[in-house]
Amino acid sequence: MFDAETARRQMVEQQIRAWDVLDQRVLDAIAAVPREAFVPPPWRGLAFADIEIPLGHGEVMMTPKVVGRLLQSLELGSADTVLEVGTGSGFLAACLQRLAGAVTSIDIRGEFTERAARCLHETGAGAVQLDTRDAFGLDGSRRFDAIAVTGSLPVYDERFQRALETGGRLFVIVGIRPVMEALLIRRAGEAEWTRESLFETSIPPLVNAPEPAGFVF
């Protein structure tokens, strides 16, 4: 019989902690959220595996170790306001909610936000504000202490960094397959940002993300 709790512990220790995720609050948050409840039924047997899990429409759940590095990089405090761009399964939103104050999660697909709402409710996750909308409609009028973009950007887009509070952190993956770069952007001032390269990875692009300009011959 499948032992979810043993598989969960192994995921945390052998995948996430082993990939330099050492923040105990992050490890505890991931362990506390029942990942298997957010995985589509056909894939639940692989809920704790080191793979991206298909969600439909070409979208995937990030691997557990990438989730861990994302959460650790944002250095979330209990009073922080967080924006998740790309709700997907809702698993990351549930983890964010355990680490931060107020979490807003947006996704262009109503199918994903509706399913995530059910999963969050069924697992007893705290309140997460879900909104079905295009992330590229953000205008910076509302700011957040942390932003996690869960789809890649073929070309870096500054509108996300402009939605940060001063001192805020943005996790984003930039580039084109097969190799992309995970970045941490910090807002140091009203018109000043810093950039740190975290690791290389590859995930599907955010819907409607701008493409690089083509070559001119």
Q: Retrieve residue 110's tokens.
A: 């109503």
What is the rounded CA–CA span in Å between residue 40 and residue 48?
A: 13
Domain boundaries, the chain: 4-201
pLDDT for 212: 85
The structure's pTM equals: 0.95
pLDDT one-digit tens code per residue, 26-79: 999 999 999 999 999 999 999 999 999 999 999 999 999 999 999 999 999 999
For residue 23, count CB atoms less than 10 angstroms from its CB and return exposed for 0-12, middle for 13-18, buried for 19 or more: middle
pLDDT for 216: 44
The CATH class for the domain spanning 4-201 reads: alpha beta
Q: Which of 124, 146, 47 is nearest to 89 (CA)?
A: 47
Written as one letter, the residue type at 140 is G
**DSSP, residue by residue, 31-55:** HHS-HHHHS-GGGGGGTTSSS-EEE
